[in-house]
Amino acid sequence: MTRRARKFVGAVTMVIFVCVYALVTMAIVQGRVQDLPKLVQMLVYAVLGIGWIIPLMPLIRWMERPDEPR
């Protein structure tokens, strides 16, 4: 697969993942986090706000891999 095709597939996958992640995160926060103290809420929001990056790192590395020489 060419680098251009990998970037397209990766971009579509990332958009879908971030949309699903946002919906799941909103459901978790709405149900449980609102009752916690403000400092704990801030920490939870920070972790959840950055948390989407970790699962996507392998995908980003795969997308940026150079093309195989022909």
Query: What is the residue whose two structure tokens read 């020489």?
Result: 69
pLDDT(17) > 80? yes
Residue pLDDT, tens place only, 35-61: 889 999 999 999 999 999 999 999 999
Taking alpha carbons only, the member of 61, 70, 69 closest to residue 6 is: 61
Distance, CA of 40 to CA of 35 (rounded, Å): 10
Distance, CA of 46 to CA of 54 (rounded, Å): 13
Decide: 18 and 52 in contact? Cβ < 8 Å: yes
pLDDT(70) > 80? no
Banded model confidence at residue 67, pLDDT cuts 50, 70, 90: confident
